[in-house]
Amino acid sequence: METDIEHIAENGDVFIHRLKKLSDDEKQRLVAQNSRLIPEAKAARLEKDAKRHWDIFYKRNETKFFRDRHWTTREFQELINFDAGEEIKFLELGCGVGNMVFPLVEEGFSNFYFYACDFSPRAVEFVKSNKLFNESRMKAFCADLTTDDLFENVQEESIDIASLIFVLSAIHPEAWSQVAKVAYRALRPGGVLLLRDYGRYDMAQLRFKPGHKISDNFYMRQDGTRSYYFTEEELQKLFTDTGFEGNTKSRLKIESKSQKAGLHWKKSHWYKHWRTRTCSEYALSRWR
């Protein structure tokens, strides 16, 4: 069962948000997750060891785990709405091994200067060792977005476009406001923040067994990394409280289907476009 919510944009375009209604089995899975929560002491250790868990993740998987994000120019028009001769400073917050930066390099964004930072030193080294890495056009460095150390490498109010792609969900909810403030301070007035992350009731959330839930909608994966599953309202409040401006005009809705082992997997992703001082669009992407 699905519920369609119709939204009429300012220009008269009609958009449909298709929201999947949880089945009884899915509701039972969520209830079962509460039967054995992660103890507070273990949750505190996960926070303390977050960098180590991500470094081990990249040691184990190297550059093979995440696919390059060739979809970014299709879904984020802000990346291409510039004159070819205009110099653009782009900051990837939580770059991993460069899965967003390097596809843009391959597509010929020669007017972009790229800053790429990550929590994991090992991930940053993979960025620097990539054959597409060019020191004249890129700077890769370690940064903890829950602190101010980004500004040891990036000047405040200097960035045209920043991205947070599947990054915020890996950070403890208590630190989100600091991350949003760091992004805001890095962007120039009118700069754009591109965000994409996991949505509430993503199939991955429903698959968690008892013993993996830290708190509401926040989970520990098997490897010790963590993931949160957002609602639109949470993201809206977080970024508007920080000073970003946005509106509720829906620009795009995407649905796709994939099969694995004869099953339909549902993925629910939020992606938003935020500007620092001018209105910008946001959109919901639901995959299933």
Query: What domains does the chain contain, in order, with CATH numbers?
Result: 2-287 (3.40.50.150)
Distance in angstroms (rounded) separating the CA atoms of residues 184 and 200: 25
pLDDT confidence band for 252 (50 / 70 / 90): very low
Average pLDDT, the chain: 76
- Please give the distance of CA 119 from its chain centroid, rounded to a whole number: 14
Tokens read off for 34: 């509460």
The CA–CA distances, whole Å, from 258 to 142, 174, 264, 265 equal 35, 34, 6, 7
The CA–CA distances, whole Å, from 202 to 160, 164, 217, 273 equal 31, 18, 11, 21
Q: What is the pLDDT of residues 153-162, one digit of tens each?
A: 999 999 998 9
Q: Which residues make Cβ contacts (< 8 Å) with residue 265, sequence separation at least 6?
A: 203, 258, 259, 288
Task: Inform me whether the pLDDT recorded for 147 exceeds 90.
Answer: yes
Distance in angstroms (rounded) separating the CA atoms of residues 257 and 287: 7
Distance in angstroms (rounded) separating the CA atoms of residues 7 and 190: 26
Distance in angstroms (rounded) separating the CA atoms of residues 25 and 69: 33
Mean pLDDT of 269-280: 41
190: left (phi over 0), alpha (psi -120 to 50) or beta: left
The CA–CA distances, whole Å, from 250 to 79, 112, 275, 282 equal 18, 28, 15, 6
213: left (phi over 0), alpha (psi -120 to 50) or beta: beta
- Please give the distance of CA 189 from its chain centroid, rounded to a whole number: 22
Return the ∠ at Cα 115 (arms to 109 and 168), rounded to 5°: 110
In this prediction, residue 62 carries a pLDDT of: 52
In this prediction, residue 64 carries a pLDDT of: 53
Give the pairing of strands 88-93 and 112-118.
parallel
Residue 167 DSSP label: -
Q: What is the pLDDT of residues 108-126, one digit of tens each?
A: 778 889 999 998 888 899 8
In this prediction, residue 76 carries a pLDDT of: 59
In this prediction, residue 84 carries a pLDDT of: 67
Largest CA distance in the chain: 58
Q: What is the pLDDT of residues 57-68, one digit of tens each?
A: 777 765 554 454
Mean pLDDT of 2-8: 47
CB 177 within 8 A of CB 170: no
If you write DSSP's letter for every residue of 84-145 in order, what string do you get?
A: TTS-EEEEEES-TTTTTHHHHHHTT-TTEEEEEEES-HHHHHHHHHSTT--TTTEEEEE--T
Quickly tell me which residue has 């054959």 as its tokens: 131
In this prediction, residue 267 carries a pLDDT of: 32
Mean pLDDT of 22-44: 93
In this prediction, residue 175 carries a pLDDT of: 95
